[in-house]
Structure formats: structure tokens, C-alpha cells
Amino acid sequence: MKKILIFVISAIVVYIIMSIVLFFNNNTDVENVVVQGYIYDELKYPVDNCRVVVFNSTYKQKDNDYTDYSSYLGNEVIETSTNKKGYYNIKLDRSAFVLIRVYKKKYKIAESEGLYSKSHIDQSFILNKGFSKESDLFKEPTITEEVE
């Protein structure tokens, strides 16, 4: 019984340490990030002139790195729209975490999960017919982590 208890406690400690290491390893700003993708309708046709909003989260610089976790700078909001092929592309100087929302009249707003930044983020969407308020496009996001 005592050995099992020691094993369980050891496993919990290892899990906590690994979680902390992964958190700090993944939550750093990445420079020169490209966010891109395609927007399609339910029939897989490209949606042109679709509004794309990226909520870009960053950290304040500490020494030579952007990892001052005590000074999260919040969301920078960048907007673009899709071309005739439904393609969008946004370049970010630096980013730690992004959330993407897309909107066009007569369609429901689509939203990505929160994404850890990397040099290239490919995120495409399929829009469903329906109604969304355009004002919801810019609501402060509730970011939930994507599980990789």
C-alpha cells in the first residue's frame, strides 16, 4: 500500500513539473508569424470578401526574449478580408497566441480555438448559413487552448 502511494505521489509530481515546463516552453513570442488559410461555404465554394479578424496575444520583452509572463500585453486586433479564392494572409511581427474569427453576412461567425504561435499558422474555415451579429466579430475572445 505504501509503495502504491509513493508511486501515485511521484507520478503527480512528475506530471506537474512537465506541465509547468511545457507551459513556459510554449508560451513565448514567436517572431515573423504568418497566419493564413481559406474560407469556404458549406458547398466548398470559396467565400470572397469575408472579414477575418486575428486576436494576437503577446508578452512584454524581458532581457532579450519576449517571455515576461507577468506582463501580458493583451490582444492586438488585426483585420483583413479574403480574396476571390477565399484566401487570407496576415503577417505578425511577433505573437505568442492567436485566435481567429471570420464573418460574412448571411453566415454564422466561425472561430478557431486558441492557437500557440509558430512561424506558420494555417487555419481554414467552412462557414455555415445563418445569422450572426457583426458586432460579435470584435468581442473580446475567451481563449481556450488547442490540444496538440
Cβ of 108: how many Cβ atoms within 10 Å?
Answer: 15
Quick one: which of 54, 73, 51, 52 has its CA closest to 62?
A: 73
Please tell me the distance from the alpha carbon of residue 14 to that of residue 8, in angstroms, as a whole number.
10
Which pLDDT score, from 0 to 100, does residue 22 have?
A: 54
Domain assignment present for residue 96? The answer is yes
Calpha distance 101→81 (Å, rounded): 11
According to the model, what pLDDT value does residue 87 have?
98
Q: Give me the pLDDT at residue 116, please.
A: 79
Q: Is residue 144 part of a domain?
A: no
19/36 Cα distance (integer angstroms)? 29
Write down the residue that cell numbers 461567425 correspond to. 109
Q: Is position 147 within any domain?
A: no
- Containing structural domain, residue 123: 2-138
Task: List per-block mean pLDDT (blocks of 10 residues) for the chain, which spans 148 residues.
Answer: 79 72 59 94 96 85 50 75 97 88 92 86 93 72 51
Output the pLDDT for position 139: 73
Q: Is residue 145 part of a domain?
A: no
Domain count, the chain: 1
- Residue 36 domain-assigned? yes
CATH of the domain at 84: 2.60.40.1120
Handedness of CA 69, 74, 78, 79 (dihedral sign): positive
